[in-house]
Structure 1
Amino acid sequence: MRWLSFFRTIHAKLIIIYVLLILVAMQLIGVYFVSSMKNSLTSNFTQDLQARAEMLSVLAEQDLNGSDGKMEEDSVESLRARVNNLFDFSGAEIQVLDASGKVLITSQGSHADYVGRKNTQTVVSRALQGIRDNEEYMVDEDNVRKKVVAKPVISQGKIVGAVYIAASMTELYDTMKRINNVFLSGMLIALALTAVLGVVLAHTITHPIKVMTRHATEVAEGKFDQQMPVFGDDEIGRLSVAFNYMTGRLREALSQNEEEKEKLSSILTNMSDGVVATDDNGRVILVNRRASAMLGVNENEMTGRHIAVLLGIDPEETEALYSGSSASTLLQLEPAGQDEPIVIRVTFTPIHRREFGITGTIAVLQDVTEQEEMETTRREFVANVSHELRTPLTTIRSYAEALDDGAMGEPQLAERFVGVIRNETERMIRLVTDLLHLSRLDSNEAPLRMQPADVMEMLDEVADRFSFQMKQKHIRSGMFVEQGIGKVVIDRDQIEQVLDNLMSNALKYTPEGGNIRIEARRNSEGMLSISVQDTGIGIPKKDLDRIFERFYRVDKARSRNMGGTGLGLSIAREIVKAHGGQIFLESEYGQGTCTTFTLPMLGEGREAQ
């Protein structure tokens, strides 16, 4: 890790870059030099072979100019003497061929058996056709690279033979190898010297930077008395001078603004509410993050805007707030990025100066959305409870007065009145019981008794409890439990209450001859999904969003006549939420309703039978 951190430093980067530049430069020079040297040596070697072949072809012209292309014995010996004396050089084979391509003379004794045989190489064929520029590379059976040259022998405009020279290039490549070795050694020595020089050069650059970094860190920690040493009159020296000047100016500025900054920081940091400060013209000059979040406007965008425009307050009300005649006001805003509007209480406090009067205003913003919602909910709840209790109490009072006025003397009438009083009393008892249940759920005073429960068995029991009522209304029932769903860990009594409420609602609002179906499946999130689907009257779309509210009824008169309290779905939602699930409802008016709730799949399951 230490080596890795070293390679990330400027020191290491300068050395590496310096060495790489030298390496690349030497590589380019070396490639160019070696390539040029190789081309030069190869060209000279080829030209030498061409000159020798040309000279030999001229000397062989007289000996090959015999009748019918045949040579006398003394001509052959004379030509062999010329070849051995004038053209003998190491690693080369010289052949003289007649017009048919047969070898007449070869300079290598090991190839004496070639005499009298035809040389069928391409360069020989081209030479016998009169083409003078014939050369090629070849690798013999000993893996030796050779250069091959062939020249035609022409006498009196007629091709009487050819000269063939195959020279080994071993010495040429050995020379190139020695040159490469010398260049590589020189390059390694140069790189070593370059690395040493790079270290020295990098140190001269990075040492002032390290010193400056250390001083900058001390300045960041509040030590403004530190002075950066000046390392010369170059760029780094001028940077050191500028750094010292900056440190002095920063020390002066901070000392001047420290007191004001402490005041503002203390106010804004300790305020849990939003704070907006304006000048005497009502323009925003200071705002904290809380105010920016509440208004849904960026802090920079708020600065300079008029607070009346920012908050959407009428000019007359703004003037009253500025003057202090009105202390606060409630605003309903819809900040950007939030779906629901919020209610804000804005309290204005004018800033007074003895000689200039009001020089600005401090506006404190408090988010009272939750309090207002709770107050609204409380008022609605009290109104709903009062209404729900007043109706049966009024009925009981009316029938009690009728009994007191003489209805007791008529047995049949008295029995009917007493039955009405009993029904209304039972409805009030159910209402109070449901309210107490909801209260315990809201305050977490109804702990869940979690135990393994068989889903198939639980759904069978629920269907059995409502089978008699469904037979009376000729309603067909059905049930489906997906394979693999066995036991889940739940509070069975509470979940059965949810199912009873859903089945009761389905039974109430499904006409005779309809269908009710219960299904249990595993959804895509791995949770148990239980749904109760009916073919009843359905629910209008405008009522779907409020169907789980307490005391909310789609058809209030009909629901009350059927004995409903308007709390069943609210209780079901709270029970499902306590289990960590969700409940939702889908309905088409006139076509039916499907209520589904989900529960976590815990415990070991088994296949439903």
Structure 2
Amino acid sequence: MLGFRSLQTIQLRLIVIYVLLILIAMQLIGVYFIRTLEDSFYGNFNENVDNEAYLLADYVKDYLDANLSGSSGEEQKTYEDLTIFIRNLFATNDTEIQIIDANGIVVSASGQLQEGIVGQKNTQTEVSRALQGIRGNERTMIDADGKRKRAVAMPVQSDGKVIGAVYVVASMEGLFDTMNRIKQFLFTGTVIALGLTAILGIILANMITAPIKEITRKAAAMAVGNLNQRVNVLANDEIGQLGNAFNDMTYRLKDALSSIEEEKEKLASILSNMSDGVIATDEHGRTVVMNRMARAMLGLSDDEPADGRDVLELLGLERAEVGEAAWTDGESLGVVLHPDEGGEPLAVRATFSPIHRRDHGVSGTVVLLHDVTEQEKLEASRKEFVANVSHELRTPLTTIKSYLEALDEGALEDRALAERFIGVTRNETERMIRLVNDLLHLSRFDSRQKSLSLERVEMYELLEEVTDRFAFQARQRGMALSVDIESGVQPALVDRDAVDQVLDNLVSNAIKYSPDGGLVSLSARRLTGEPGAAARVEVTVRDQGIGIPKKDLGRIFERFYRVDKARSRNMGGTGLGLSIALEIVKAHGGTIRIDSEPGKGTAVVFTLPAAGEEREDG
């Protein structure tokens, strides 16, 4: 296993492959070369030994034939001469020669043991076969010294008759020594070739793997986020093409990640600034993303963790309320949230939209939280408004109908009673006319059809005229009206009729809800804001009446809202006066507020633009 792990690098694999390739090639060449060389050497050796035996057989024929026939003379060939010839011929050769007569007796020999061999009978099988006239008698043997030798017996014939044999024993040690030297040379050459191959393999492998290692290092750097990587391309080969592809991939990846990051920032910005809350969950309903508005709706602080929390738990819903269809098909549910303890609850519409992933089904859900609190309030106000209008119209209409029926049934004959009934009918009719006019005023302001005719109006003149209009009504109840104008107050730039209507409503309410003998004061002062801000005029209508409870101050400007409904209706009020005053003041770009304390009186304060300030008619 360790050896296998050590071959995990391409460089080492290439080196091993090259070395093994050369080793196998050298082994195959060596085996073939040695085998061929051995066959050649063996063939040449055997041929030489056979040729020597054949030539000797031809040469010693005369000696054997002469000794066999017993001839004599000066030319007589003796065995001693033959021995000298053989000894001189093979003195430097490690070959043993035996000349054997027809009876198998050694008559001549070479070598150190020739004295002990001559005269002895040779009983070797190959010799016996040769004396029988058989050729091709040979044998390979190992002598007592452990040396390998080859023995060949060649028959000597004369006139077709075997007269003896030549027995040649040639040593093969020289042949094997030569083969061993050749093998050693081949082994040395193989080792040198493997060493050179290893060196060349290292160089070649490094040329191949160095660019790959560089690409690997840069790819690892990219994996940890460092995208500023570029490979140096030195050639246009396959590795160079790989480097070009890597550089192109790096450029495209940087561009793609930059686009993704930009889109992510856009999405994060959109989510953060959405007026609706967004919650993204995984397939198990656990929160993974939540924007700032959703945190505000759920009452979670910025540092409070939300990831991993169940979205139904955050919304205060049970899974049975939502149902499985919401997670797969989408659904909208109404939810009431309490972001602050003791605070006003929020009416929220939660819309579940599943996220479908190709080949994976539903991989998550996006929950959109839309705050419908104001819509619910507007809907409730609309319903209340319709109910109030219906009630305000139904009451005088019912009264008018009742008195008309009474007149029709005979009350018309009683003049005094008829006049009283007609007077009540007239009052109720005027009340309905005032109500309809007030509604028309509000409708024009709501639809922005009401235009203001602005003019310069002195505040003292404006307030004095209001007190004059209500002087008779105030004297009847023993009340006093006062006007206080701060010195230096600029004229106001207003629609006089509209502001007169505001003051009439406010002064009328002050007189209605103040005890007899009380004081209603009107004042105006110059209101300056920060440097460079437009100068304004602040008008205050203050009474010493019954005041307004604190719980009703937040709704006092709502249409048809009355603190004491029965008393207000009996006094002829429509419940729209303050609403109209608010719309007129807002149309002038001003503000209006009420400061009141039960039993101590009420002060209505509103602001108007001072003359000299440009503004568009609204």
What TM-score comes out, normalization by structure 2 length?
A: 0.53
Aligned 8 A contact 2:329 2:354 in 1: no
**Cross-structure match for 2:479:** 475
User: What per-residue deviation string (whole Å, max 9, x for no partner) do you get for residues 28-59 of structure 1?
Assistant: xxxxxxxxxxxxxxxxxxxxxxxxxxxxxxxx
**Cross-structure match for 2:584:** 575
Aligned 8 A contact 2:490 2:610 in 1: no
Q: What's the secondary structure of 1:301's corresponding residue? A: coil
Match of 1:309 among 306, 313, 326: 313
**Cross-structure match for 2:518:** 514
Aligned 8 A contact 1:289 1:299 in 2: no
1:371 to partner: Cα distance: 3.0
Is 1:459 matched with 2:463? yes
Aligned 8 A contact 2:334 2:350 in 1: yes
Match of 1:586 among 580, 595, 599: 595
Aligned 8 A contact 1:224 1:248 in 2: no
Match runs of 1:14-93 below 5 Å: none
**Cross-structure match for 2:497:** 493
**Cross-structure match for 1:546:** 555
Change (3 A) 1:364 1:254: farther
Q: What's the secondary structure of 1:281's corresponding residue? A: coil
CA RMSD of aligned residues (A): 4.0
Aligned 8 A contact 1:451 1:489 in 2: yes
Match runs of 1:369-448 below 5 Å: 369-448=373-452
1:448 to partner: Cα distance: 1.4
**Cross-structure match for 2:212:** none
Aligned 8 A contact 1:287 1:299 in 2: no
Change (3 A) 1:478 1:259: closer
1:582 to partner: Cα distance: 1.2
Change (3 A) 1:468 1:483: same
Aligned 8 A contact 1:450 1:491 in 2: yes
Change (3 A) 1:477 1:384: same
Is 1:283 matched with 2:283? no
Match of 2:230 among 224, 227, 230: 227
Aligned 8 A contact 2:280 2:288 in 1: yes
**Cross-structure match for 1:564:** 573
Q: Judge which range, 334-343 or 410-419, deviates more.
A: 334-343
**Cross-structure match for 1:118:** none
Q: What's the secondary structure of 1:332's corresponding residue? A: strand
Give, in whole Å, the separation in 1 of the partners of 2:270 and 2:467.
Answer: 60
Q: What's the secondary structure of 1:396's corresponding residue? A: helix
Match of 2:536 among 527, 533, 537: 527
Give, in whole Å, the separation in 2 of the partners of 1:257 and 1:603.
Answer: 58
**Cross-structure match for 1:367:** 371
Change (3 A) 1:456 1:385: same
1:560 to partner: Cα distance: 0.8
1:578 to partner: Cα distance: 1.3
Give, in whole Å, the separation in 1 of the partners of 2:604 and 2:339.
Answer: 34
User: What per-residue deviation string (whole Å, max 9, x for no partner) do you get for residues 472-528 of structure 1?
Assistant: 111122221111114221111111111111110111112221111111112353531
Change (3 A) 1:483 1:562: same
1:464 to partner: Cα distance: 0.8
Give, in whole Å, the separation in 2 of the partners of 1:521 and 1:533.
Answer: 14
Match runs of 1:164-313 below 5 Å: 227=230, 274-288=277-291, 291-292=294-295, 295=298, 297=300, 298=302, 301-313=305-317
1:341 to partner: Cα distance: 4.8
The one-letter code sitting in structure 1 at the alignment partner of 2:508 is: S
**Cross-structure match for 2:604:** 595
Is 1:503 matched with 2:512? no
1:406 to partner: Cα distance: 2.1
- Where does the alignment leave 5 or more consecutive residues of structure 1 unmatched? 1-218, 230-245, 605-609
Aligned 8 A contact 1:530 1:596 in 2: yes
The one-letter code sitting in structure 2 at the alignment partner of 1:345 is: R
Give, in whole Å, the separation in 2 of the partners of 1:367 and 1:491.
Answer: 38
Q: What's the secondary structure of 2:305's corresponding residue? A: helix
Change (3 A) 1:269 1:454: closer
Aligned 8 A contact 1:506 1:534 in 2: yes
The one-letter code sitting in structure 1 at the alignment partner of 2:606 is: F
Give, in whole Å, the separation in 2 of the partners of 1:599 and 1:535.
Answer: 24
User: What per-residue deviation string (whole Å, max 9, x for no partner) do you get for residues 56-114 of structure 1?
Assistant: xxxxxxxxxxxxxxxxxxxxxxxxxxxxxxxxxxxxxxxxxxxxxxxxxxxxxxxxxxx
Give, in whole Å, the separation in 1 of the partners of 2:290 and 2:599.
Answer: 55
**Cross-structure match for 2:237:** none
- Where does the alignment leave 5 or more consecutive residues of structure 2 unmatched? 1-221, 233-245, 530-534, 614-618
Q: What's the secondary structure of 1:519's corresponding residue? A: strand
Change (3 A) 1:508 1:305: same
Give, in whole Å, the separation in 1 of the partners of 2:528 and 2:256.
Answer: 64
Q: Judge which range, 519-528 or 555-564, deviates more.
A: 519-528
The one-letter code sitting in structure 2 at the alignment partner of 1:348 is: F
Q: Aligned pair count?
A: 370
Give, in whole Å, the separation in 2 of the partners of 1:249 and 1:337.
Answer: 55
Q: Judge which range, 427-436 or 384-393, deviates more.
A: 384-393
Give, in whole Å, the separation in 2 of the partners of 1:480 and 1:266.
Answer: 58
Change (3 A) 1:531 1:555: same
**Cross-structure match for 1:197:** none
**Cross-structure match for 1:92:** none
Q: What's the secondary structure of 1:483's corresponding residue? A: coil
1:276 to partner: Cα distance: 2.5
Q: What's the secondary structure of 1:277's corresponding residue? A: strand
Q: What's the secondary structure of 1:478's corresponding residue? A: strand
**Cross-structure match for 2:218:** none
Give, in whole Å, the separation in 2 of the partners of 1:372 and 1:265.
Answer: 34
Change (3 A) 1:479 1:264: closer
The one-letter code sitting in structure 2 at the alignment partner of 1:527 is: R
1:380 to partner: Cα distance: 1.5
User: What per-residue deviation string (whole Å, max 9, x for no partner) do you get for residues 124-183 of structure 1?
Assistant: xxxxxxxxxxxxxxxxxxxxxxxxxxxxxxxxxxxxxxxxxxxxxxxxxxxxxxxxxxxx
Aligned 8 A contact 1:576 1:599 in 2: yes
1:257 to partner: Cα distance: 7.8
Q: Which is greater in Rg?
A: 2
Change (3 A) 1:264 1:224: closer
Change (3 A) 1:562 1:225: closer
What TM-score comes out, normalization by structure 1 length?
A: 0.54
